[in-house]
Chains A and B, each alone.
Chain A
Amino acid sequence: MSTNGGAPLLEIKHVKKYFPIRKGVLQREVARVHAVDDVSFAIREGETLGLVGESGCGKSTLGRTIVRLLVPTAGEIIFQGRSIERLSPRALRPLRREMQMVFQDPYASLNPRKRVGTIVGDPMRIHKLGSKKEQKARVEELLETVGLSPEHYNRFPHEFSGGQRQRIGIARALALQPKLVIADEPVSALDVSIQSQMLNLLEDLQNEFKLTYLFIAHDLGVVRHVSDRIAVMYLGKLVELSPAEELYQRPIMPYTEALLSAVPIPDPDLAAKRERIVLEGDVPSPIDPPSGCRFHPRCRYATGVCSEIEPPLVDYGRGHLAACHHPLNVDAATLSQVSAAPESPAHADRAALPHDTSGESRPPGS
């Protein structure tokens, strides 16, 4: 996996997605669901960015907003240097070839009344690519690429197991030779043994077709395996963004620490020894998110400041950003440098860009 692609393929700046809640005869807006609230990051060409968080944190909404299945409430989505957040459906159409999605539930995302050949071939028919014969040949080739057999062309989805269906979903996403693939929990519905096959397949395809992935999942064990960098979301906010290994070695945000400790370890002795931080309760409602740091009601390090002031996303060096008043695993020197750094909006923009993980990038102000 090469990450030295250089320019970002996709950049999102201050993206917000609110869903209005309407009530009464006049359908007046009475409240808003803050599904995605001011998220910025960039994905480089050939990179895999993992996006993790619990159900309801807005990770799927963000994924859908990026491919413009949803229109953002505010913010910019820049794909290959072009703002796409306000494009009309017609203008978007050529871009759909570049961005494709793999969905979570392989049972619900394939039309049960269509044959596999039609499901995988439809994107090409819609975009009028090649003759019927070429399309068929291409579908057969795709089926082989994802580990199915070309003879499966005339079968229906119900004839396949969960893992095979997910392969069909992947073949469909690859049909238009996209640059960016957004995989929304592609393995959560699968057995562990099939899950590992799927992760290896996604990796092979990335190398073969130079794909860029946004990999959405709630399981940090899975995400670590595929990602170059990982973004952690909580209640619509980006709370930590870091190179993958760095995040596992020294998580800064207590929420990340808790997520990591919740991943089961298949080793009874280690599992018994390790401290498991069980988060109390569920994610609060995004209609009326908590004040200050949104994680503070469930955070074991929370103090007064956490409920009053929302912590900004701060760069702790080595491309590691986090939003927390009580950062973990940060030494005093880094901390003093960080606190001296100015927090201008320009800085926030710069921070959202991926850092060169190979070079030593120092925190601003050093």
Chain B
Amino acid sequence: MAEKLLEVDDLSVHFATEDGTVHAVDGVSFQLSRGEVLGIVGESGSGKSVTAMTVMGLTRDVNSRFGGSIVYKGTDLLQLSDGEMQEYRGKEIGMIFQDPMTSLNPVYRIGEQITEAIRAHERVDRRTAKRRAVELLKQVGIPNPESRVDDFPHQFSGGMRQRAMIAIALSCNPSILIADEPTTALDVTIQAQIIELIARLKDEFDSAVIMITHDLGVVADVADEILVMYAGRVVEHGTIRDVFYDPQMPYTWGLLGSIPRLDRPRPERLHTIKGAPPSLINMPEGCKFRPRCPHAFEKCTQEPRLEERVGTPGHLDRCWLDVEYKRAHRDETISSGTTEAA
């Protein structure tokens, strides 16, 4: 059994705003062990980024309210003071963001931004830190790292900037790397490179990865486990095989069906999930996906708990529908999309 690094239990994150309380994350639980890749999937506003940022301690604010616990190697990160959290952020848990254009500081050289991260956590002199920066740039696949280390971000392409971001995130050898939509702003070809790089570095650095995305295709060949989030809740949780080959939540079907697929004949119409995610201030009664769900029935006005309903250990979902009914009907959504042709 690999070392358990992170245990998130019943995490909730609420923000007090002028318009009311935003229930950004509600009752999210998951575990992460060394060597594992966890994919968190959902639309914008589903709470996936807030979950990750809370693990990093980036959502701390006077208006934030937290519940539950985030236990990292035996320490509950939520109980730490801001100063203590600083010791973990970057050193134990590294993070890369969606937009490599805005997450690097344009007026500092790439090398300076990497050495800054190293010197914030370790007592090393500038020369050693710079040598480490060059080494890191080499590991993330930047050509001529010795000279590129003195470049400014604008001299890097989008893919190279994301590589530089990964170098910064890995500079202190963190046990967990959180990648928040690391490839959304990149070309498909560069996306393939970056995903491969993250998977390779995970092994080299012997760490665990949380990969956040709205596109299930991106995590299909790297993730071990998938967490599907909707309206701040986990609506389905299982191994990659559970979620791709036996998905239980109509929302997961919708996400799978929305992707234009190259491995199948082109459908007349793409499947769409009707409407938009609910407001996190005024949530619908019962199952939060009910207003958009084509399969909703009376029972859905009560909110289902996240539990094992399929009989596969560890495969959890929040759906009242009968398992056999779902197995019979889900392909209409996932693979054709022709059903609602105009």
Q: In the assembled complex, which residues on chain B have CB atoms less than 8 Å from the CB atom of A276?
A: 192, 196
Q: In the assembled complex, which residues on chain B have CB atoms less than 8 Å from the CB atom of A163?
A: 276
A-B contact count (CB 8 A): 124
Q: In the assembled complex, which residues on chain B have CB atoms less than 8 Å from the CB atom of A279?
A: 189, 192-193
Bound form: Cα–Cα A35–B83 in Å: 50
Please give me the residue from chain B that is nearest to A53 by CB atom: B187
Interface SS of chain B: helix, strand, loop or mixed? loop
Check B188 against A218 for contact (C-beta < 8 Å).
yes
Check B150 for interface membership: any CB of A closer than 8 A: no
Bound form: Cα–Cα A263–B337 in Å: 20
Number of interface residues of B (CB under 8 A): 44
Q: B259 contacts which of A56, A203, A221, A270 (Cβ < 8 Å)?
A: A221
Q: In the assembled complex, which residues on chain A have CB atoms less than 8 Å from the CB atom of B160?
A: 282
Q: How far is the CB of A235 from chain B (nearest CB, A)?
A: 13
Q: B43 contacts which of A194, A222, A245 (Cβ < 8 Å)?
A: A194
Q: A196 contacts which of B193, B266, B270 (Cβ < 8 Å)?
A: B270
Check A55 for interface membership: any CB of B closer than 8 A: yes
Q: Which residues in chain A, 168-224, are within 8 Å of chain B measured between CB atoms?
A: 191-197, 199-200, 203-204, 218-222, 224
Please give me the residue from chain A that is nearest to B243 by CB atom: A268
Q: How far is the CB of A224 from chain B (nearest CB, A)?
A: 6
Interface SS of chain A: helix, strand, loop or mixed? helix
Given A222-B260, A264-B217, A268-B221: A192 in contact with B255 (beta carbons within 8 A)? yes
Q: Which residues in chain A, 240-288, are within 8 Å of chain B measured between CB atoms?
A: 244-245, 248, 258-268, 270-272, 276, 278-279, 281-283
Q: A259 contacts which of B188, B218, B241, B255 (Cβ < 8 Å)?
A: B188
What would 6 A/B residue contacts be, using CB atoms closer than 8 Å?
A: A191-B214, A193-B43, A221-B260, A266-B220, A279-B192, A279-B193
Number of interface residues of A (CB under 8 A): 47
Check B86 for interface membership: any CB of A closer than 8 A: no
Check A224 against B266 for contact (C-beta < 8 Å).
yes
Check B276 against A263 for contact (C-beta < 8 Å).
no
Check B193 against A278 for contact (C-beta < 8 Å).
yes
Please give me the residue from chain A that is nearest to B188 by CB atom: A262
Given A266-B244, A268-B221: A161 in contact with B262 (beta carbons within 8 A)? no
Check B263 for interface membership: any CB of A closer than 8 A: yes
Bound form: Cα–Cα A199–B260 in Å: 10
The 10 A-B residue pairs with the shortest CB-CB distance in the complex, in nearest-first order: A264-B217, A271-B221, A196-B270, A196-B258, A266-B217, A225-B260, A262-B192, A221-B260, A191-B214, A262-B188
